Amino acid sequence: MRILVLGHTGYLGRHVAEQLSALGGARLFGGGRSPDADLRVDLATADTGRLAESLADLSPDAVVNCAGSLGADPVTDAEVNARGPAVLCAALRKAAPTARLVHLGSAAEYGAGEPGVPVTEEAPTRPVGSYGATKLAGTVAVASSGLDAVVLRVGNPVGPGAAPMSLPGGTALRLRRAGGDHDAVVRFGDLSAHRDFVDTRDLARAVVLAATASGPLPRILNIGGGRAVPIRDLVQGLVAVAGFGGRVDEAGIGSARSAGVTWQCSDITAARDALGWEPRFTLTDSLSALWASLGADGEADPVA
């Protein structure tokens, strides 16, 4: 089986590539902007015709799109999260119309949830910012492409190698830099909002199952932990793992991307039914693995 992973050097892409490479009989190709990529491409600017030619040369049986912009700015979000999937689908229709496409969407597409009510894939989508809106546009492009495609709507990823711009990765980095200073104060915004955290290794396993499943899949599947967790619990969990003896202060400025979304939780029943998938790692497992992945300088070590 020939599998192309776009964004294979990114945070999620590395985990996905690692698990796909362990499949017996699979030949893995990496796609992205890195010099060592088998397919050098930037979906934000790619030409459909040239991308189709490159895809035809690779002749993939499955394509996994892990490329994405994490709310850098509205223009970049639109180019990467909305235009990118649309161009990819157009190129696949020309070059590899029978390939299975697995695209990573985001629970941010749903927007704010109703406390106590996990959202199913049929729930209304009401994103509150450019990140969620552009991810939703990418999902629409994939779901309406006519390809053998599935969108995995991912909750909040956490695990080894987390990027510094993410809440888990950024928190771990700040705690590592604070070290053993008992007078240190690490400031956040309000941490009372609830999120659905999913381990990156569980996510990668869902991708493997989706890429290799026989027969058609639902167009959209939620991939999350299946429970709403206060962000404060994640921060305090990292504090415990780090042995941080300083103080956490919630009087700072919070994330603009998360503003207005106080509660999110995904119903993962459909993924369980369609893929036989459910999360295996606890949040404590994820935080311990994240902390262990930090290098001596506090940066996350690469995850193969």
Q: What are phi and psi of 238, to 5 degrees?
A: -70, -35
Model confidence pLDDT, tens digit, residues 163-218: 888 899 999 999 999 988 888 999 999 999 999 999 999 999 999 999 999 999 99
pLDDT at position 181: 85
pLDDT at position 52: 98
pLDDT at position 304: 26
pLDDT at position 259: 59
- CA torsion, ordered 101, 258, 203, 276, to nearest 10 deg: -90
Please check the confidence at residue 105 and state whether its pLDDT lies above 90. Answer: yes
pLDDT at position 235: 96
pLDDT at position 257: 55
Mean pLDDT of 81-107: 98
pLDDT at position 165: 85
Residue (of 259, 258, 198) closest to 228 by Cα position: 198
Please check the confidence at residue 17 and state whether its pLDDT lies above 50. Answer: yes
Long-range contacts of 209-216 (CB under 8 A, 24+ apart): 209/275, 209/276, 209/277, 210/100, 210/102, 210/150, 210/152, 210/275, 211/3, 211/20, 211/62, 211/64, 211/100, 211/102, 212/1, 212/23, 212/62, 213/100, 213/274, 213/275, 216/148
pLDDT at position 301: 45
Model confidence pLDDT, tens digit, residues 35-82: 999 999 999 999 999 999 999 999 999 999 999 998 778 999 999 999
- Provide the whole-model pTM: 0.93
Share of the chain above pLDDT 70, in %: 94
CATH number of 2-293: 3.40.50.720
Please check the confidence at residue 296 and state whether its pLDDT lies above 60. Answer: no
Mean pLDDT of 276-286: 97
Active-site annotation, residues: 131
DSSP 129: S
Average pLDDT, the chain: 92
Model confidence pLDDT, tens digit, residues 263-275: 999 999 999 999 9
Model confidence pLDDT, tens digit, residues 202-214: 999 999 999 999 9
Taking a C-beta distance cutoff of 8 angstroms, is the pair 44, 9 a contact?
no
Model confidence pLDDT, tens digit, residues 116-149: 999 999 999 999 999 999 999 999 999 999 999 9
